[in-house]
Structure 1
């Protein structure tokens, strides 16, 4: 592709599903620079290697001392950050947008502006967030004032996007609801292993991967594992880590971020994947587990209702309660060896549609049609 292309991403401070999509975009467009609010390689840990060859251009906010630690309360600066970049020399700008609304970049009349939206900002539209800021009176007042003006700007900036791509039907619905815009759905790429080397050992542990924040409800997984005496390995880090460790029994293990080889081994030999996130727009981690043939037991919410087929590649539970999760786990435990093997095979087949190959083909086709 001869056109001059730029990528834009909210921030490079932590690594989650949105950043996995950005990695895929850099592989598809290796010469495209990445514009972002700020870049913190140290905090990315082992994942910083994914961006070592990229030309990363942070905004002026990078120069503000401790900005990565205070960017949430300073969210009112987001419109000024994205307007400060000059994209006039580019033919195409693709924004990987979510929490920090980088879709609000200012582009010229001749520049095609495509937004791959992970989700509209949760804190603006009443969805659960990582921090329960509503319980602090002064913070609530401040946030409500700031969020009022940001909602207006978020809507106005959404009207300047030429084309929206949603990462799921759930997100497409939200784009229609909050922005009154149409979006095509291109599911994000998930790291699906080509070959799975399974050991003959009996799988007796469960796994979950998530940022350890309030909205992920890891505490429900822990309480269920404690009651059933299940081995649960938790991959991830976050502000809730110390609390979660304090309520964990002897069968719970925290692994923080792990290297790729250890990650593959953990997933290959896991019995099941547990998930309790609410209103997850897509949920890359459960699909990643299914790619290793690991059935998923997830709360029936958001995009998980699109990807987890109850009783086929996993189980869904209807109430965000420990007892509801335990009931789903017990259904899973009671499967015969043959039924469990079939569910593992179904999980693997389900995940294959979310491959990088499919993502690349669909994205390039979209760009070609709309460019």
Structure 2
């Protein structure tokens, strides 16, 4: 069985890239086909000799502005010749599922999310865009949506990274999807020996939809200490909102992040996310989570056992949830055992079994 991997872009390490890395290691003879490859930022994870970038690699400034080149991406993936492969495994939140395979090949798409800016978050992206970007979006997005639906028909089997994403695949593509949760490094993220501290924790990119401002306002209201790890374009606005109990730590090494997980009172997760790996990392360290009662958190947090949900993205709801969490006792051992169900090893086993099962079925069809 000769296998190829496709991925939207290989530019910076993130959650989706962790999924691709597991496949990359599980199938050492595979190559990764992608629109753009930034070796300076991700070459220590993916060897250059096993990465095949598209023609976009030669477009000036594509490594920096690839997200502005959406109109080129359908062509970029359709031009890849994958006729030598038996199985194509796509990691997609944009265009990589649109590759063209042979009639006998098996194409499995692991979808982190249907194209957000084309579908459910279109109006949010449009509302925050400048005049030129809005002009382009109005004229290009109808065609992008049509191509996105048409290209979904090229996929033999969909895998979603959460039940939330599976429902959106059904909504926009009218296709069923199996669910395999993404891998979490529960071997690295483990409970510590120290007692829980007095601070709440957020680890996130600073962009508006992450709703970090909501956590800041809630902690301002309750006068609770909040530690925020990360960075991004929304930083200056968030700092303006922060009261004296809010601490910004910037980007930290993984070992330092683990210590903050281990000693936090609880992890705050106010965003609507497709899955959300950070809440699982916090639980792997034995700490409870306060999460929005929507999205991927519904798959990863057990209410009253490993965390507390709040119903709406407003300060009052989050304050109520924080007060509720502080009134309860939490079993760190139980929280840890729950998180172990999302381990790297579990993901490797489930994805290999899935691919082999579907490939065996395909062989029966063509022989």
State whether TM-score is above 0.5.
yes
Per the alignment, residue 255 of structure 2 pairs with 261
Per the alignment, residue 194 of structure 2 pairs with 200
Per the alignment, residue 297 of structure 1 pairs with 290
Kindly state the Cα deviation for residue 184 of structure 1 after the two structures are TM-superposed: 1.1
Kindly state the Cα deviation for residue 202 of structure 1 after the two structures are TM-superposed: 4.4
Kindly state the Cα deviation for residue 235 of structure 1 after the two structures are TM-superposed: 2.4
Superposed, 1:149-188 pairs within 5 Å as 149-188=143-182
Q: Is the 8 A contact 1:30 1:54 kept in 2?
A: no
Per the alignment, residue 362 of structure 2 pairs with none
The 3-state SS of whatever aligns with 1:294 is coil
Q: CA RMSD in A?
A: 2.2
Q: Are the structure 2 counterparts of residues 129 and 193 from structure 1 closer, same or farther at C-alpha, using a change threshold of 3 Å?
A: farther
The 3-state SS of whatever aligns with 2:117 is helix
Question: Aligned residues, how many?
Answer: 359
Q: Is the 8 A contact 1:166 1:185 kept in 2?
A: yes
Per the alignment, residue 216 of structure 1 pairs with 210
- The structure 1 residue matched to 2:60, chosen from 57, 62, 65, is 65
Distance 1:323 1:129 in 2: 26
Kindly state the Cα deviation for residue 352 of structure 1 after the two structures are TM-superposed: 1.4
The 3-state SS of whatever aligns with 1:165 is strand
Alignment gaps of 5+ in structure 2: 360-367
Superposed, 1:227-242 pairs within 5 Å as 227-242=221-236
Per the alignment, residue 324 of structure 2 pairs with 331
The 3-state SS of whatever aligns with 2:232 is coil
TM-score by length of 2: 0.90
Per the alignment, residue 96 of structure 1 pairs with 91
- The structure 1 residue matched to 2:239, chosen from 221, 239, 245, is 245
Per the alignment, residue 348 of structure 1 pairs with 336
Q: Is the 8 A contact 1:134 1:140 kept in 2?
A: no
Q: Are the structure 2 counterparts of residues 147 and 37 from structure 1 closer, same or farther at C-alpha, using a change threshold of 3 Å?
A: same
Kindly state the Cα deviation for residue 118 of structure 1 after the two structures are TM-superposed: 0.6
Per the alignment, residue 26 of structure 2 pairs with 28
Per the alignment, residue 363 of structure 2 pairs with none
TM-score by length of 1: 0.90
The 3-state SS of whatever aligns with 2:37 is coil
The 3-state SS of whatever aligns with 2:113 is coil
The 3-state SS of whatever aligns with 1:123 is coil
Q: Is the 8 A contact 1:113 1:162 kept in 2?
A: yes
